[in-house]
Amino acid sequence: MNIKLIKYGVMEFAELIKTPRVDGVVLHRPFLPTVEGTLCLTGHHLILSSRQDNTEELWLLHSNIDSIEKRFVGSLGSIIVKCKDLRVIQLDIPGMEECLNISSSVEALSTLDSVSLMYPFFYRPMFEVIEDGWNSFLPEEVFKDLESMTDEWRLSEVNKDFSVCPSYPPLVAVPKDVDDDTLRKVASFRHSGRFPVLSYYHKKNGMVMMRAGQPLTGTNGRRCKEDEKLINATLRPGKRGYIIDTRTINVAQQAKARGGGFESEANYPQWRRIHKTIERANVLQEGLIKLVEACNDQSHSMDRWLSKLEASNWQTHVKEILTTACLAAQCIDREGASVLVHGTEGTDSTLQVTSLAQIILDPACRTIRGFQGLVEREWLQAGHPFQQRCAQSAFSNNKSRQEAPVFLLFLDCVWQILRQFPCSFEFSESFLVLLFEHAYASQFGTFLGNGAAGRAKLSLPEKTVSLWSWVNRPQELERLTNPLYEANSLVIWPSVAPQSLLLWEGVFLRWNRSSKCLDEAYEEMVHIIEYNKELQNKVNSLRRQLAQLETEDPLLQTP
């Protein structure tokens, strides 16, 4: 089966590759010397290797290419390759025809529609898989943890064949007293069948966070008793809960005209509804494009930079998302209330809020493995359409499709919290950057597909390697570990003041300025900590030696 695929693939690609190889190509990259070498195109990679020592200087996935531009000066052509990880490189290609061929081939190869032609289906790991990442975060296992804390929830198989909700996984946690028939009815009342499911259980006080799609109340205020019953089942007697609608009241009102809506006070008297203002996907995408444009502005004018930064609204989005997540966490931890979060579909802003709230509340999510589990639960299994959202990034010209940096904004918010609590996370910034890169282009199958049903059809565990298989090896873990980490079991409340929220330089200025000095500072920091550990060990071993010598001492005295 795999062999067939590869053969099919190779044939397919061969047609697209008009010129597989060009000599004398010059590569320009920011902050690195230019390299002259041979350019090779394969089905999935653009490779440039210098002829001198035959080492690869550039190994770029076609799927990482966001846009490509051609320029000609005489017979010397250049292509400017703009990548989804925001890097911009230039290749000078001698010969007009070669340049045109390379350019059109790359363009075709980087915009292949068929998922099954993507690199993860061809990639074979060159490393030893210690633990198969596809089995690392199974819902059954996660549920075992929940069972150890509470018996109020059960794992339902109602969505076993994805018929109730195509974006939900086959197993979801629901209140114990709610049966599958009720779930089916509730699903018909929620956007895309996304009935309320458990997102997080707060061990400290037994409060929960649920997420769902918007209720389909429509203009005439349809109601669904089963829906009310389901969410009320999560409330303690006499207690009220909070519904956090990530949309403004106006947007939520307008949604009624299209069959959507929100929970009315009359039908949900035990719930208090709060509206927030997290923008929709297309607005976020526009923000990313503007922000990256601002970062690449060469004018050197402070006014221009600040006004473009402001106009991109990126930092506003970060602030809104973080604020909403903090609010959800506050309701749970401080008010002792359960929370239901939804927006429209419940696959974007909803997940930003529920996953960030868990980072704030749950120390386990701040470990490397715990964070993987969070991404797996709250993003992959929860049905965030990665393939659609990450098809293009900031340089793309195709406007207003499904693309949106929803996940990138989540990572940005995590980075903000990490900056404010630099010792409370087991992972360092590089882990977040790595997830950003792999969400947009990867050799691993982890971020392929849209929603649980779509992903199931792709047979990813059988045909691709999981990113977690690669990450969870000692050498990678070491690279991603935060040397400052000291487990902090407390809830961490970040500041959301504009003065506290910074531009994520590690992503947005990564290719615009040299990070040499900052990298050196990081190394110095690691050195200080390592040296301390080393001395600690030496002192301990000497202390043991000393204790031994001292106990031997009296023996000598008694002949």
Nearer to another protein, 371 or 421 (CB): 421
Minimum distance from CB of 302 to another protein (Å)?
A: 4
Minimum distance from CB of 324 to another protein (Å)?
A: 8
Q: Where are the beta strands (DSSP E) in 97-223?
A: 153-156, 172-175, 197-202, 207-211
Touching another protein, residues 274-333 (CB under 8 A): 295, 300-307, 309-310, 313, 315-316, 318-320, 323, 326-327, 330
Listed in sequence order, the residues at least 6 apart from 192 whose beta carbon sits closer than 8 Å to its beta carbon are 165, 166, 167, 213, 345, 346, 347
Touching another protein, residues 496-525 (CB under 8 A): 496-503, 509, 512-514, 517-518, 520-521, 524-525
* Tokens representing residue 530 in the block: 């390592």
CA-to-CA distance for 518 and 525, rounded, in angstroms?
11
Binding mask 415-454 for another protein (x = CB under 8 A): ----xxxxxx------------------------------
Q: Which stretch binds another protein (CB under 8 A): 135-143, 163-171, 374-382, 480-488?
A: 480-488
Nearer to another protein, 360 or 458 (CB): 360
What are 21's strand-pairing partners?
Answer: 40
CA-to-CA distance for 500 and 103, rounded, in angstroms?
43
Touching another protein, residues 331-370 (CB under 8 A): 334
Nearer to another protein, 401 or 510 (CB): 510
CA-to-CA distance for 200 and 145, rounded, in angstroms?
11
DSSP-derived secondary structure for 1-67: -HHHHHHHHHHHHHHH-S--EEEEEEEEETTEEEEEEEEEE-SSEEEEEETTT--EEEEEEGGGEEE
Nearer to another protein, 206 or 363 (CB): 363
Using CB under 8 A, pick the residue from 196, 467, 553, 558 that binds another protein. Answer: 553
Minimum distance from CB of 432 to another protein (Å)?
A: 17
Touching another protein, residues 526-545 (CB under 8 A): 528-529, 531-532, 535-536, 538-539, 542-543, 545
CA-to-CA distance for 226 and 520, rounded, in angstroms?
59
Minimum distance from CB of 502 to another protein (Å)?
A: 8
Separation of first and last alpha carbons in the chain: 80
Q: Does 177 bind another protein (CB under 8 A)?
A: no
Using CB under 8 A, pick the residue from 54, 55, 220, 489 that binds another protein. Answer: 489
Nearer to another protein, 63 or 246 (CB): 246
Nearer to another protein, 2 or 250 (CB): 250
CA-to-CA distance for 82 and 101, rounded, in angstroms?
18
The pairing of strands 241-245 and 207-211 is unpaired
Q: Does 130 bind another protein (CB under 8 A)?
A: no
Nearer to another protein, 100 or 509 (CB): 509
For residue 312, which amino acid is it? S
Q: Does 547 bind another protein (CB under 8 A)?
A: yes
Q: Is 522:479 a contact under the CB 8 Å cutoff?
A: no
